Structure 1
Amino acid sequence: MRYLHLVIYFVIYVDSKELPIYMRHLRCPLTHDFKECFIEKGTAAIPLIAKGDPEYNLPKMNPFEIPIVRLLESPSMALNLTNLKVYGLEELKIIDIEVDLKRRMFKTTLSGQNVTVVGEYSVDGKILIMPIKTKGLFSMYLKNGVYIATKIDHIEHKSDDIYYRPVFDPLEYNFEKVEFRLDSLFGQNEDIGNQVNKYLNNNWENLMAEFGPQIARILSKIITDIFDNLAAVVPVKYIFLDDPVFKF
């Protein structure tokens, strides 16, 4: 029993940390200047966070690596993406934030001019009317994306400290354009492969209506993992420059 008490002690007490040292000068006060401060300093924090930090369990984001995404599974088509690398996340910028302190709601809008996903694909089914079973290299370019992440911070008490437990709404997103490229779609028949890629890119909005929610879940997981991992070990008192019960 004594050893159990020691384990509980270390989980509750020892894991408590301040923000990473490279982020402490980027905190903002909960005053009327919070929005302007958060946009400036939050944007400055993104490339620092993107480097990753094992101490805080923050993943490396330049690039962010994803082992597998089952993009489509249906009776007529199976499309899997593997060994994915996401480039450009470290260049995201915060362009707006809405805050409701009474609800502890933060709605952050980010923009990214160039986010590129590369990896491998495997497909088994039909594209248009043509049966296809193949694999090859895959790339997707997300041009001028706008991402809206809304979270509500629930309160948790551990020891004598208060922690946030962030809960996110589904990520909202919009793109100026999305470009796809799937190599070796029909083996050596490059003409048909190029025609299919052209068709995909001419109809990217329809494709995003189908595949967009899955892509949004990928991007959302990147964001939520960062907030979840920081919130798990950093008490509220270290997040803002002043008392978190301050009201605008």
Structure 2
Amino acid sequence: MNGLQRNTDFLTPIEVELGVDENGMTTAKKLYNFLELSPSNYSKWCRTNIVENSFAEENVDYWAFVLNDEWGGQATTDYKLTAHFAKKLSVKGNSEKAEQAREYFATVEERVKQKAIDLTQLSPELQMFNKIFQSVAEQQLEQKRQAEKIAEVENRVDSIREVVSLNTTSWRDDTGKILKKIGTSLGGGQMYSQVRNESYELLEKRAHADLNRRLVNRKRAMAEEGVSKSKRERLTYVDIIADDVRLIEVYTAIVKEMAICYGVV
């Protein structure tokens, strides 16, 4: 225990929080908690961003291991992450924590480079083999980087096309999809509800409209018309927006702006 304490004495606060080891590696769970993402979405986040990530290679970028619950609960799978991969995962976040993580892991990568051995001390033969190895490695890494860039561009083009094509005809489904995408990028879970509520608040401010008052009035009118209570209760702000062409136009513009602001295009 004392030995462990001596080791952590030399760590910075961010290294302690990320559980960084002597190789600058953290774990998926430590990084996830550091980024302050939704606790209920951890498994899905790991599956989407690590296990099913076509640009991440097991036993190269990450190593899976079983994490036993200290209270005797169900064991979970965690992943050891290289500094480079952890930085890539942090890039997807827009919070201050994500920025801190990106800066830290970028520093770790630079530190690793500085620790590289002086190749001039090697024999001519080993220097030759090293050059061959480096050449092959650089080619493979460059191919991987190019594939990542192509995929990123394709995804961005698809997202931009989705936002640009957003119009007042299919606005219901289109705005819903974009808001869900924003919610997912922020960690999923309750984030979608928060993003959706944010869109309504922006609409009320910009259009000077009281959506709740309109909703109450609409339900009262439906009751007077004899519409069943169950149908009245299913009424939402989206239905209220649909009644007003001006609200539809303003709301559509707001969702487009949110997509750009949250970086989902």
State TM-score, norm by structure 2.
0.24
Structure with the greater alpha carbon radius of gyration: 2
Q: Which has the higher helix share?
A: 2
Q: Which has the higher strand share?
A: 1
Between 1 and 2, higher relative CO (CA 8 Å, sep ≥ 6) is seen in 1
